[in-house]
Amino acid sequence: MSEIEALLKAYERFLQLPWDRTLAGPQKVWFAIYEPVQERRLRLHLPEFEAATRDMGHSWTHLDLTDLFAQWMSHHDYREAYFEEPEDMELDLQDFTNFVSQQIVGMLTAPDVDANTVVAISGLASLFGFTNASVVIEAVAPSIRGRLLVFFPGQRNESNYRFLDARDGWNYLAVPISGIDGN
């Protein structure tokens, strides 16, 4: 069984558990953790995650973050200057962080999203170098109604998460789901 197939099985076990509706936002975040080299395989299996969610009687909605930087940059007044001097963009990256957070909050608070909905986020790796995933997740957590499933390319050691195995980890309250260690 591949790592992603094992992750799907672990996710299915989590879907069978009753959902405590009284949890705080950060406690409603599920991190589906996988090795970054498995990104393409994960994307191939996203429909199976959706099917498993629906089979357990939950709603599903999905947001792919992959193109958000390009969308943000295409509307930016200084985009041409940033291509000439990329280091000048650093000051505006807080605006990009806010843009990403707004896109996710928009999905989390959509009229068809309720306490029985899994909002899944893929493409997290596309944020690397532009913003910190931890900042985005913390910003959107208060808006979670059901569960936020974050497909997380990286590693976990207890409650310490390491994004893309490339930066120091951060502590977070998310529920880890992994096909590697049997969670």
Look up the pTM and report it.
0.87
Q: What is the pLDDT of residue 71?
A: 81
Q: What is the pLDDT of residue 162?
A: 65
- Residue 123 identity: G
Q: What is the pLDDT of residue 97?
A: 87
For residues 182 and 5, the answer to whether their CB atoms sit within 8 Å is no
- Residue 54 identity: R
Using left for φ > 0, alpha for ψ between -120 and 50, and beta otherwise, residue 165 falls in: left
Q: What is the pLDDT of residue 88?
A: 54
Rounded to 5°, the CA angle 145-147-151 comes to 140
> Per-domain residue ranges for the chain?
3-178
Q: What is the pLDDT of residue 141?
A: 94
* Alpha carbon distance 104, 143 (integer Å): 9
* Alpha carbon distance 132, 153 (integer Å): 13
The tens-digit pLDDT sequence of the chain (183 residues) is 789 999 999 999 999 999 998 999 989 999 999 999 899 999 999 999 999 999 999 999 999 999 887 787 776 665 555 555 556 556 566 678 889 999 999 999 999 999 999 999 999 888 887 788 888 999 999 999 999 999 988 877 766 666 666 655 555 677 889 887 544
Strands 117-122, 59-64: pairing is: parallel
